[in-house]
Amino acid sequence: MFNQESRVIFGNNNSNYLAEKLCINVIEFEEDLNKRFGSQAICFDVLVSFLLQDEAKTKLPCLDTMNQSYEGSDMKERAFNHLKASFAVDDELEEYLYEIMCYFFWYFCGGLVELFKHRQAENQGPRIHLTQRIVSDEVIDSNLPAVVTGYRGMSVSESQSGAFGMSWTLSKEKAEEFAFTTYNDEPRGVVVSTTIERDNILYFDPSDNESEIVVANNSLVQGSVVAT
Q: What is the pLDDT of residues 14-36, one digit of tens each?
A: 999 999 999 999 999 999 999 99
What pLDDT does 200 receive?
A: 95
- Please compute the mean of the pLDDT values over residues 87-107 and round it to a whole number: 97
pLDDT tens string 159-204: 988 789 899 999 999 999 989 987 677 889 999 999 999 999 999 9
The percentage of the chain sitting over the pLDDT mark of 90, rounded to a whole number, equals 79
pLDDT, tens digit, 9 for 90 and up, residues 132-170 = 999 999 999 999 999 999 999 999 989 988 789 899 999
Q: Is residue 2 over pLDDT 60?
A: no
- Look at residue 177 in the predicted model and tell me its pLDDT: 92
pLDDT band at residue 221 under the 50/70/90 scheme: confident
- Which three-class secondary structure string do you get for the chain? CCCHHHCCCCCHHHHHHHHHCCCCCHHHHHHHHHHHHHHHHHHHHHHHHHHHHCCHHHHHHHCCHHHHHHHHHHHHHHHHHHHHCCCCCCHHHHHHHHHHHHHHHHHHHHHHHHHHHHCCCCCCCCCCCCCCCCCCHHHHHCCCCCEEEEEEEECHHHHHHCCCCCEEECCHHHHHHHHHHHCCCCCCCEEEEEEEEHHHCCEECCCCCCCEEECCCCCCCCCEEEEC
What is the topology classification, in CATH, of domain 137-227? ADP-ribosylation fold (3.20.170)
- Residues 50, 55, 59: CA angle, nearest 5 degrees: 135
What is the reported pLDDT for 120?
A: 77
pLDDT at 6 over 80: no
The mean pLDDT value of the chain amounts to 92
Neighbour tally for 66: CB within 10 Å = 8
Quote the pLDDT of residue 12.
97
Q: Where in the chain is the domain with CATH 3.20.170?
A: 137-227
- In which band, very low, low, confident or very high, does the pLDDT at 1 lie, cut at 50, 70 and 90? very low
Distance from C-alpha of 170 to C-alpha of 194, rounded to nearest angstrom: 10
